[in-house]
Chains A and B, each alone.
Chain A
Amino acid sequence: MSMIKKKKNTQSQLPSVTENARNFCGQKRTILVIAICVILALIAGVIIRGVNLAIEFDGGTILNYTYQGDLDTNKVKSETEKIVATPVTVRTGESLDSDDLQLNISFTTDEGFNADKQFALTEALNEAFPENSLELYDSKDVSPSSGREFLLKCLVAMILAAVLIIIYIAVRFKKIGGWSAGICSIFALCHDLVAALAASVICGFEFNANIVAVILTILGYSINNTIVIYDRIRENRTLYPKATLNELINLGCTQSLKRSLRTSITTIGTMVVVSVVVLISGYTSLLSFSVPLIFGLISGTYSSLFVAPVTWSWWMGKKAKKSKKA
């Protein structure tokens, strides 16, 4: 008895669907133009800077040695090239964690530079520079074929994830036209990935394992953001069975606006803290994780609130028009 009374109570208190709702769908053109312009600008930036694939994906060899005294880098270069038989880049620098000097040798060979060859190279260098007491600090060698395989495997994993997510959304949001909603959420996700990847390229980071972690994180956040808004639209559909889709979208986005911004402040804030701490402490290898992620998260906030729902409204509008004509 009391249950029924309560329900009636909430119904009577419902404000109208347009009350307090901002008109997101009315800004369709502005929203999509901004999104497309930003993407185009970022892609242009990527083309200008050029993608710098790290050896995880491209194959290659990097050897870091610590050394003492003075070292003639040109002589190191010629000695190494004698053994490696391809052009070699040699740099020197200072180690982060001690006062040791560091020698960095990098090159790419067709088949990779396996442990046997590395051992021989170290022997030869020690023979050529006995005073400098070279010692291996860290090293990385990936053969080009296994690098490409890793890249391909990452791509397949992401495509599989995208397909499964579309299916999941299609099933869970059947009430509001699931397939198109799922595909639009993946479209918004691509928008965010482009933003993060382009930011990474434009900042001059190379594509390494960190970028895989960035992509994965954005995959999770972006889809989650979009789903929270879809969920609100789905709920509004039950509350306002007579409202048009655009009205529902407008209301859902307005209701989710605060939550989206507040969640984004915590996640982006966390990544800003990580970036600052890493910059101050000098362990900058993590910057190629945190900085692209910040851009991806900013883009994710924009795309889940605007791009995904508005693209979806546009799609459903087209579909409605078509069925009317027919």
Chain B
Amino acid sequence: MNATEVQTLAKAAQAGDRAAFEALYTGLFTPVYRYVRSQIRHHETAEDIVQTVFSKLFLKLQNPLPLPQSLRAYVYTMARNAIADFYRRPADLLPVDGTVEEIYADTAVTDSPIRASEAADDADHLIALLETLEPLEREVTGLRFFSDLPHRLIAETLGKSEANVRQIQSRALKKLRRLAPQYFI
């Protein structure tokens, strides 16, 4: 779903067209979920966060105020804020899925090419790998490779310049290549 389609559907939804909101929801739910999942390993929690994002979007579209310039960037910003809220919760309320080291040690076996290849096909391994990055690098990687967003939209979502986003991504990929070369074959 491209940016123009999103804006058109959002305007229709704002005018009270429920089918338009449904189309918006169907088109955006999975990519937003993938981005959230890249930041949170717990599947159900990620789903709940995306659900909260779309609830807020629905309420936003009930308001007749002008829509944001890019609704797609706006939705990802909401998801980003929801993730930040999630990590602000007390530690004992956060879901426990094992530490990054546990997951990574279980799947990243670089001395065996076959197992390394298998690990590269494992989503948990990939998400655990992203946890080794700096927060901003992780966000850029999630938006670029999990949600397949263009650099311009990532820059808009994060409030940075496009060149800055490219730099952050380059730094992140260098680190990942060092940690898991099987992803760069």
Partners in one complex: no
